[in-house]
Amino acid sequence: DTCRNFHCKRGKVCHADQQGKPHCICQDPAACPPTKDYEHVCGTDNKTYDGTCQLFGTKCQLEGTKMGRQLHLDYMGSCKYIPPCTDYEVAQFPLRMRDWLKNILIQYYERDLNTSGILTEKQRNKVKKIYQNDKRLVAGDHPVELLLHDFEKNYHMYVYPVHWQFHQLDQHPVDRLLTHSELASLRASLVPMEHCITRFFQECDGDQDKLIDLKEWCHCFGIKE
């Protein structure tokens, strides 16, 4: 099977020609395997797709067109009304996001106390200092004033989680720049809960080059140079 180790990007599948040579062709959206309701996704065209297979297959078939360039995964779940993000809400967004990232790392650290595997030893050493700080906030829905006070008082605890998330996203390729597709994995899961995340990422891109570098990312989260 010449297609066995032949890799195609999302939206394409391998097809062997008459000579047995593998090629990538667009996935037929109608041939995608059936999905459950919770696997539905919303595209940036505000249309619900049965799953990512159908979405990226459709995008592939539209390749070369304006509609194809503009079609991306918007968020997980069926399309619904997402309220616009106000100036006040987007200004408060980094407070919640920083706290969320910090708590994710603490949860990973706690899980690794029993079974290793999520964090590397270097990452565990970084998170250990945050975990051991008895002044840290217990995970929960805290008022904005408390989050701001904690950030100012325990600034050092928030720096690593922000850096960690950047490098978790910077994978395809690892070039210290975040593209739209690299951000999609975080955006798509958070949009239904954090409707300001799209505007936040847009405003993070200070030079409007459609890429977010580490300096821009840290600036958005209030991390000093």
Tell me the per-residue pLDDT of 109-136, one tens digit each, with 9 for 90 and over: 888 887 767 898 889 888 988 888 756 6
Contact partners, residue 100, CB within 8 Å, separation at least 6: none
At 112 the pLDDT is 85
CA-wise closest residue to 38 among 52, 27, 28 = 52
At residue 12 the predicted structure's pLDDT band, cuts being 50, 70 and 90, is: very high
Tell me the per-residue pLDDT of 36-83, one tens digit each, with 9 for 90 and over: 998 999 999 999 999 999 999 999 999 999 999 999 999 999 999 988
Tell me the per-residue pLDDT of 171-221, one tens digit each, with 9 for 90 and over: 988 999 999 889 988 888 888 888 999 999 999 999 999 999 999 999 999
In this prediction the pTM is 0.77
At 134 the pLDDT is 56
**Domains identified in the chain and CATH numbers:** 12-76 (3.30.60.30), 87-221 (1.10.238.10)
